[in-house]
Structure 1
Amino acid sequence: MTDDKPDQTPGQTPGQTPDPRPGNKPEPTASAQPEPKPAAQPEPAAQPEPGSKPVPTPMPKPKTPNLALRRLRTGFKPSRGQAIVALVLALVACMAVVQVRVNRADDGYQNARREDLIAILDGLGQNTRRLESEITDLEERKNSLSSSADKAQTAREQAEAQVRTLGILAGTLPAQGPGVRITLNDPQGKMTSSNLLDAIEELRDAGAEAIQINGAVRVVASTDFVDDAPGIAIDGKKVTSPYVVEAIGESHNLSGAANFPGGLVSEVTGPQVGGTAEVTELTNLQITALHAPEEHRYARPAASPTK
């Protein structure tokens, strides 16, 4: 049996066709490994020459921080809005903690016994009743003080009104209002203190509340009239004709009392005096003359009959 395989030349790789040309050597195959080169030897460091200064070795430059690292650091700087949000979140967290503690405190009543709960309710009921009683007492005191203040204010107002009224009647305060002005002329000097006193009484009977004569003398309950020719002395002050009598009251009534037949005007204009009289109604009459009160020598205030 014949072997069909071609003869292999020594040193020839199987599967390689031998070069028929004489003198050519077969090329190495791809599987042949190249010979390794010898490793380069480091050059020896230069030795400093004798007497020369050593050259310092330069320090390596610091590396530039990475751009991403710088952006990350910049992102950690909070803005104003972020700070506000953080503060709000912190407050919410605190409120949640407080609420949890309150809920835990309330949970203590859930595990309490029935007797303890009844005792707690009784104590709360007693405190409630006590507080309601205190509220009622305070409201009564408030109402009492308000009533007292109102009563005191009313009494004060009444006292002030009475002082004004008594001041006008006593002649210690000026007065104004509607009234009449009566001018009496006595050219012959025949008018006496009794004639003037009769005129004052008629005006008082007609409702005169304040009277003055010649703008200088205030007529009161204690006023005295004395003849002092020529003229009349009133409370020690001498007045002469014309006598001007001014009275505050209902002007129509005062004018009617003066003009009544047989009254003041008839007496002055009659043959006994022979003078003239003029009566003028006024809507606003000012009485400014004041009476100086004298201290009483004997009379003293008496206790009220009701006390």
Structure 2
Amino acid sequence: MSDDTPDTPEQPDKAADKAADKAADKAADKAARPAEAPQPEKPTPMPKPRTPNLALRRLKAGFKPSRGQAIVAVVLALVACVAVVQVRVNRADDGYQNARREDLIAILDGLGQNTRRLESEIADLEERKNSLSSSADKAQTAREQAEAQIRTLGILAGTMPAVGPGVRITLNDPQGKMTSSNLLDAIEELRDAGAEAIQINGTVRVVASTDFVDNAPGIGIDGQKVSSPYVIEAIGESHNLAEAANFPGGLVSEVTGPQVGGTAEVTELESVSITALHAPEEHRYARPAPSPTK
């Protein structure tokens, strides 16, 4: 036996070559054929227009009322309401017409009782109104009287300002001889002539408890020193006050005489304003007395 063996072809290599040849042939055929043109897309069909339903439109138009139809409907509704009311009234009248005599008498009695009850209530209300009005009038009158009394007492006590006709008296004492007695005499003469409010030098209000003391040069009034010229303003009947000051032997004569040697000027005024106020002090002993019982 010989060691040399014949060479056998490899089967797998042949099969691979055949497959490659077939693929190459297909590619060549495909390249040789012309490219197919793309197919155009089919157009979308348009929707068909809907034909209006004439019968339905006519039916809708028939249900839509016109202005004239609406007016007629309102008039008919009013006529129906009037008819219903008239029928009810007629029925009520028929009820009274067909009622028995005893029933009518009972109805009249009931109406009479209601009338008397209402009249009684009206009378009570009228009486209450008159009572309230009288009470309100009395209260208002009492309030007004109290306010007037407060104003009067305030002016007399010097706790309220005052205005009215009066006089202004100016006393000059160049030598300083005027004393508290001279000034007190002047105040007393003015009070006797009807002076209702008095102030001196625009700062001191003269009241019942005002005191005058000598404090040369000048005069002390309620602890406040005043000096010449002394200006006395008083509210009252201006002519009477001026006559009291100019009376022979009175204020003017005393000041202009040799005892004082001063001057005096009296002026009547239509309006005198007194603004100085007196600060009242609490009484140490005096207390209001109880009202007398009836």
Please tell me the TM-score bracket, short chain as reference. 0.7 to 0.9
The Cα offsets for residues 210-238 of structure 1, whole Å up to 9 and x where unpaired, read as: 10001000001111111122211111111
Amino acid aligned to 2:127: E
| Alpha-carbon offset, residue 254 of structure 1 | 0.7
1:111 matched residue in structure 2: 98
1:167 matched residue in structure 2: 154
Deviates more, 1:250-259 or 1:139-148: 139-148
Which one of 236, 247, 256 corresponds to residue 234 of structure 2? 247
2:179 matched residue in structure 1: 192
The Cα offsets for residues 36-83 of structure 1, whole Å up to 9 and x where unpaired, read as: xxxxxxxxxxxxxxxxxxxxxxxxx989748xx977864652234532
Residues 144, 80 of structure 1: CA spacing in aligned structure 2 closer, same or farther, 3 A cutoff? Answer: farther
| Alpha-carbon offset, residue 198 of structure 1 | 0.8
Residue 148 (str. 1) matches residue 135 (str. 2) = yes
Residue 78 (str. 1) matches residue 65 (str. 2) = yes
2:21 matched residue in structure 1: none
Residues 84, 148 of structure 1: CA spacing in aligned structure 2 closer, same or farther, 3 A cutoff? Answer: farther
Which one of 115, 128, 137 corresponds to residue 128 of structure 1? 115
Residues 83, 279 of structure 1: CA spacing in aligned structure 2 closer, same or farther, 3 A cutoff? Answer: same
Three-state SS of the structure 1 residue aligned to 2:279 is: coil
| Alpha-carbon offset, residue 290 of structure 1 | 0.5
1:274 matched residue in structure 2: 261
1:94 matched residue in structure 2: 81
Q: Percent identity?
A: 89
Three-state SS of the structure 2 residue aligned to 1:289 is: coil
Q: Within 5 Å, give how 1:1-307 maps onto structure 2.
A: 65=54, 74=61, 76-305=63-292, 307=294
How many angstroms apart in 2 are the aligned matches of 1:263 and 1:96?
103
Residues 300, 81 of structure 1: CA spacing in aligned structure 2 closer, same or farther, 3 A cutoff? Answer: farther
2:5 matched residue in structure 1: none
Gaps of 5+ in 1: 1-60
Residues 175, 85 of structure 1: CA spacing in aligned structure 2 closer, same or farther, 3 A cutoff? Answer: farther
Amino acid aligned to 1:305: P
Deviates more, 1:185-194 or 1:127-136: 185-194
Three-state SS of the structure 1 residue aligned to 2:194 is: coil
How many angstroms apart in 1 are the aligned matches of 2:72 and 2:220?
99
How many angstroms apart in 1 are the aligned matches of 2:261 and 2:248?
16
Amino acid aligned to 2:243: G
Amino acid aligned to 2:188: E
Amino acid aligned to 1:108: G
Deviates more, 1:194-203 or 1:80-89: 80-89
Amino acid aligned to 1:174: P
Three-state SS of the structure 2 residue aligned to 1:253 is: helix
How many angstroms apart in 1 are the aligned matches of 2:210 and 2:160?
16
How many angstroms apart in 1 are the aligned matches of 2:239 and 2:71?
86
Superposition TM-score, scaled by structure 2 size: 0.76
How many angstroms apart in 2 are the aligned matches of 1:302 and 1:195?
37
Rg comparison, structure with higher value = 1
The Cα offsets for residues 78-129 of structure 1, whole Å up to 9 and x where unpaired, read as: 2345324423431331232133223313422222222222122112111111
| Alpha-carbon offset, residue 247 of structure 1 | 0.4
Q: Relative to total residues, which structure has the larger helix share, 1 or 2?
A: 2
